Structure 1
């Protein structure tokens, strides 16, 4: 079972990662914006490059949003004193598994099956 100090370390780690995701969101906002046809650019390739950059930025944003939801779920489990316990079977999640990814909601047995 996790002690209070271990849980605080996980909480701090999750909060730092969440803040970093928000910072990345702000930095990439321009890349996700509407692609405007620039008459000064060289033809279709410039527009295609811009559209590709936009699509990649949007895909990255979706991944960041999914990760943020997982982080928020883990932080909620910490607040509810459920962190470190499998959401499916209720058993403890191995410390090493949480160290790899503190957002995991299930133990290895339930994840496999």
Structure 2
């Protein structure tokens, strides 16, 4: 990876980390417990609980993505970013731009 590509990926990672942190904050608001004393009808309360469950899953996924992005950023700082953890080949820049948290090339990702 050239210095210019590394700077470009650093910018992309920074943006994705910031976006993910904002998404996590929004989801935290949506996953607050549904209070039993709220004036919901039976079906409305069930909908609220369902929505909370969906948002809980989305929150877990975003937290996981944030960890992967931060790990990728650390690898970039160490000069190990963009190298497949399975085969050791370079991960194509296009794949890294699309999925900056990825740790595997397309070939190895398809085998998993």
Q: Does TM, scored on the shorter chain, surpass 0.5?
A: yes
1:65 aligns with 2:63: yes
Gapped regions of structure 1 (runs ≥ 5): none
Match of 1:104 in 2: 102
Q: Which runs of 4+ in 1 moved over 6 A?
A: none
TM-score, normalised with respect to structure 1: 0.86
Listed one character per residue, the Cα deviations across residues 9-42 of structure 1 (whole Å, up to 9, x for unaligned) are 111111111111111222232221111123533x
The structure in which a higher percent of residues are helix is 2
Match of 1:84 in 2: 82
Gapped regions of structure 2 (runs ≥ 5): none
Match of 2:20 in 1: 21
Paired residues in the alignment total 111
* C-alpha RMSD of matched pairs (Å): 1.5
Q: Which moved more, 1:52-61 or 1:24-33?
A: 24-33
Change (3 A) 1:31 1:6: same
TM-score, normalised with respect to structure 2: 0.87
Match of 2:4 in 1: 5
Please say which structure displays the higher CA radius of gyration.
1
Aligned equivalents of 1:101, 1:22: Cα separation in 2: 17
Aligned equivalents of 2:38, 2:67: Cα separation in 1: 40
